[in-house]
With several copies, the nearest count.
Chain A
């Protein structure tokens, strides 16, 4: 097996430069690569394009990168929890490309899977269709959407092994597996890193072929956005 281990987040992100295109796994704050985001915040980066379903909140996740003005452009499906984001967008400081969530997920999968374009019904008749090729198949109208790739993809898994195999937990899986396939360099941070051979090959969500660097993260906050409980 090919060993992918690096010591920590700082080493993992050392060659990320300004103006790169980055992907970040996560849905809201669930399953985001907290350690890599912190390590990127320590670097002097600007002009980044960030592909992420959401943009974090004002004081956590990608929101911190927005606050530090590292981000030139966001490619997301929903950015509703972030006042700084909204301010930068309305003032024109930040470019934003809003994409239907399923189209975003499929574009990333396609990018990693060598599929340059595909057709989807999402967005037909809306401003999302502007400038896109429209085509009818079997009486239904579809848009052509293109694959997405990134210079670096940052993903967060529950368990990983030294060969780069990843297992996610609960709904923290979300965009992480597709993004792992679409990064020229994919960096995985995991809660528990084990030697190759300890994970059941049948339980692996992301095969190690997609992961160039892996490390065991520290101090996960896993902030909850909507803490909802029942009386039991």
Chain B
């Protein structure tokens, strides 16, 4: 099984040179730490920044400079600031190449639910609906199952939808899977020590397993 850091490390391998990337709150934020240094990429924060840098040292904290998770941040060289309408113009217009975000559920046709649990949680969708409706590539970071053991990779989402037919890839604590254009999850890799059988048993949606499934390797 992968821990959160390993999920982030695995997703970082999906990043390509020259990409502009939006990272959601939680595990996706950690991905920034593991992007290979030889790649030139730029991180977008939907509250109005291109070029997110590391967290500031104590003496450099600026309350007027935060990311979308409201964390204090810094800017890298070559950053640009803009307003929220311009930020989502950038997102909606397809200029951000890759969105990495968390999910509560993903369906086998790529629908995602991550913003609402009726009667329980009403935090709102924030920028997630805009991001998943717009980016050309969307990767989900999440646990394969809920705390009570239910699969989160479903035939259909049971929770209110954030976006339809948008998720391209999923990295969970157990596996890496593509969402096929024609529907269905395709198993690509398994976590160290996790068997294909376990993944099959914990995936409710249609799962395609072809040939030998390699085990992920981490440094």
Residues on B with beta carbons closer than 8 Å to the beta carbon of A31: 64
A204 on the B face (CB < 8 A): yes
Q: Measured between C-beta atoms, what is the minimum distance from A111 to chain B in Å?
A: 8
**Which B residues from 34 to 81 make CB contacts under 8 A with A?**
40-42, 44-51, 54-58, 61-73, 75-81
Q: Is the beta-carbon distance between B78 and A165 smaller than 8 angstroms? A: yes
Closest to A106 in B: B85
Q: Is the beta-carbon distance between A114 and B72 smaller than 8 angstroms? A: no
Q: Measured between C-beta atoms, what is the minimum distance from A99 to chain B in Å?
A: 8
B88 on the A face (CB < 8 A): yes
B18 on the A face (CB < 8 A): yes
B181 on the A face (CB < 8 A): no
CA distance A60 to B42 in the complex (A): 33
Q: Measured between C-beta atoms, what is the minimum distance from B156 to chain A in Å?
A: 12
Q: Measured between C-beta atoms, what is the minimum distance from A140 to chain B in Å?
A: 9
Residues on B with beta carbons closer than 8 Å to the beta carbon of A232: 57-58
Which of A30, A79, A204, A223 is close to B122, meaning CB atoms less than 8 Å apart? Answer: A79
Which of B71, B95, B162 is close to A226, meaning CB atoms less than 8 Å apart? Answer: B71
CA distance A141 to B56 in the complex (A): 41
Main secondary structure of the interface of A (DSSP, over half): loop
Q: Measured between C-beta atoms, what is the minimum distance from A118 to chain B in Å?
A: 11
* A100-B127, A101-B130, A229-B57 as given contacts; A30 in contact with B92, CB under 8 Å: no
A41 on the B face (CB < 8 A): no
Q: Which one of A29, A101, A196 has the highest number of Cβ atoms from chain B below 10 Å of its Cβ?
A: A101
Q: Measured between C-beta atoms, what is the minimum distance from B84 to chain A in Å?
A: 4
Which of B45, B86, B94, B133 is close to A123, meaning CB atoms less than 8 Å apart? Answer: B133
CA distance A158 to B96 in the complex (A): 25
Q: Is the beta-carbon distance between B83 and A196 smaller than 8 angstroms? A: no
**Which B residues from 133 to 173 make CB contacts under 8 A with A?**
133-134, 160-165
Q: Is the beta-carbon distance between A121 and B133 smaller than 8 angstroms? A: yes
| Known A125-B163, A125-B165; 17 more pairs at CB < 8 Å | A1-B42, A1-B51, A2-B18, A30-B63, A30-B70, A78-B124, A90-B122, A105-B88, A106-B89, A169-B64, A171-B81, A173-B83, A175-B83, A181-B93, A201-B49, A229-B55, A230-B56
**Chain B residues within 8 Å of A, Cβ to Cβ:** 18, 20, 40-42, 44-51, 54-58, 61-73, 75-96, 111, 119, 122-130, 133-134, 160-165
